[in-house]
Amino acid sequence: MKSQRSMAVIALVFLLAACGPAEPPALPANTLERGLPSDPETLDFHKARSTQAADVQRDLGEGLVGYSPTGELEPASAERWEVSDDGLTWTFYLRDELRWSNGETVTADHFVAGMRRLVNPATGSFYAQMLGDIENAAGIVSGDIPVSMLGVDAPDERTLVMRLVQPTPYLLGLLTHPSTYPVHPGTLAEHGESYARPGRLVSNGAYRLESWIPGSLISLQRNEHYWNNAGTAIDAVNYHVIVQATAELSRYRAGELHVTSNVPSESFAQVREEYGEQLHVAPYLGVYYYGFNLTKPPFNDNLALREALSMAIDREQLAEKAVGRGEQPAYSWVPPGVNNYEPPTLSFSALSKEERERLARVRYKEAGYGPDNPLQVEIRYNTSDHHRKIAVAVQSMWREVLGVETTLVNEEFQVLLNNMREAQITQVFRSSWIGDYKDAHTFLSILQSDNPANMPRYESTEFDELMARAAAQVDPVHRRLFLEEAERTMLQDHPAIPIYFWVSKHLVRPEVQGWGDNVLDYHYSQHLSLSAPE
Amino acid sequence: MLRYTLLRVVGAIPTLLLVIALAFMMVHAAPGGPFDNERVVSPEVEANIAARYHLDDPLPVQFLRYLGGVLQGDLGPSYRYVDYTVSELIGSALPYSMALGIIAMLLALLLGVGAGTAAALRQGTGFDRIVMAFSMTGISVPVFVVAPVLVLLFAVKLHWLPAGWSGASGAGKYVLPVITLALPQVAYIARLARASMIDVLGRDFIRTARAQGLGTSAVVRVHALKPAVLPVLSYMGPAIAAILTGSVVVEEVFGIPGVGQLFVRGALNRDYTLVLGVVVFYASLIVALNLIVDILYAVIDPRVRYR
Amino acid sequence: MSRVVKVTGAALLAIAMLALIGPWLSPHEYLTTDFDRLLLAPRLADLHLFGTDDLGRDLFVRTMMGVRITLVVAVVASLVSLVIGVTYGAIAGYVGGRVDAVMMRFVDTLYALPFIFFVILLMVAFERNFLLIFVAIGAINWLDMARIVRGQTLSLREREFVKAAQLTGVSTPRIILRHIAPNLAGIVVVYVTLTIPQAILVESFLSFLGLGVQEPQTSLGSLVNGGVAHMESASWTLLIPALLLAAILLCFNFLGDGLRDHLDARQSP
pTM (two decimals): 0.83
Given a cut of 80, whether residue A28 has pLDDT beyond it is: no
Helical packing angle, C236-267 and C3-25, nearest 10°: 140
C156 and C58 in contact (C-beta within 8 Å)? no
Please tell me whether residue C146 adopts helix, strand or coil conformation.
helix
Distance CA B103, CA A18 (A): 10
Q: Is the pLDDT of residue B305 over 60?
A: no
Name the β-bridge partners of A498. Answer: A289
**Residue A220 one-letter amino acid:** L
| Nearest by CB: B166 against A49, A217, A452 | A217
List the chains bordering chain C where 3 or more Cβ pairs fall under 8 Å.
Answer: A, B
A408 three-state secondary structure: strand
**Cα distance from A270 to chain C (closest Cα, Å)?**
7
- Structure ipTM over 0.85, yes or no: no
pLDDT, position C120: 59
Question: Over the stretch B178-195, which tens digit does the pLDDT of each residue have?
Answer: 989 998 888 888 888 888
Convert the pLDDT of each residue in A233-284 to its tens digit. Answer: 999 999 999 888 888 998 999 889 999 999 988 888 889 988 988 999 999 9
CA distance B31 to A422: 11
pLDDT score of A10: 40
Nearest to A242, CA basis, from C196, C20, B257: B257
List CB contacts (< 8 A) between B49 and chain A.
124
> Which residues of chain A make contact with B252, given a CB cutoff of 8 A?
243-244, 247
Q: pLDDT tens digits for A414-425?
A: 778 878 888 888
Name which residue leads in pLDDT, B79 or A110. Answer: A110
CA nearest to A54, candidates B58, B38, C227, C268:
B38
Mean pLDDT of A87-101: 93
Percent of chain C clearing pLDDT 90 (strictly above): 9
DSSP state at residue A259: B
Express each pLDDT in A489-501 by its tens digit. 999 999 999 999 9
Sheet holding A217-222, edge to edge: A31-36, A236-241, A217-222, A207-213
> CB A216 to CB B169 under 8 A?
no
Q: Kindly give the pairing relationship between strand A89-94 and strand A78-83.
A: antiparallel
User: Which residues from chain B sit within 8 angstroms of residue C253, using beta carbons?
Assistant: 136, 139-140
C178-223 pLDDT, tens digit per residue, is: 888 778 877 787 777 767 877 887 788 878 877 778 778 899 988 9
Q: Is C116 on the interface with A (CB under 8 A)?
A: no
Q: Is the pLDDT score of C93 beyond 90? A: no
To the nearest whole Å, the CA of C25 is away from the closest chain B CA by 29
Partners of A411 on chain C (C-beta within 8 Å) are 124, 128
Higher pLDDT, C120 or B81: B81
Residue B137 distance to chain A (closest CA, Å): 24
Q: A81-90, A518-527, B95-104, C201-210: which has the minimum mean pLDDT?
A: C201-210
The beta-carbon neighbor of B156 closest among A193, A250, A417 is A250
| B121 neighbors B220 (Cβ within 8 angstroms) | yes
- Are residues C214 and A408, on separate chains, in Cβ contact within 8 Å? yes
Is the omega angle on the peptide bond into residue A283 within 30 degrees of 0, that is, cis?
Answer: no
Nearest residue in B to C210, CA atom: B268
E-only strand ranges, chain C? none
- pLDDT at position A355 is 94
Averaged pLDDT for residues C148-161: 84
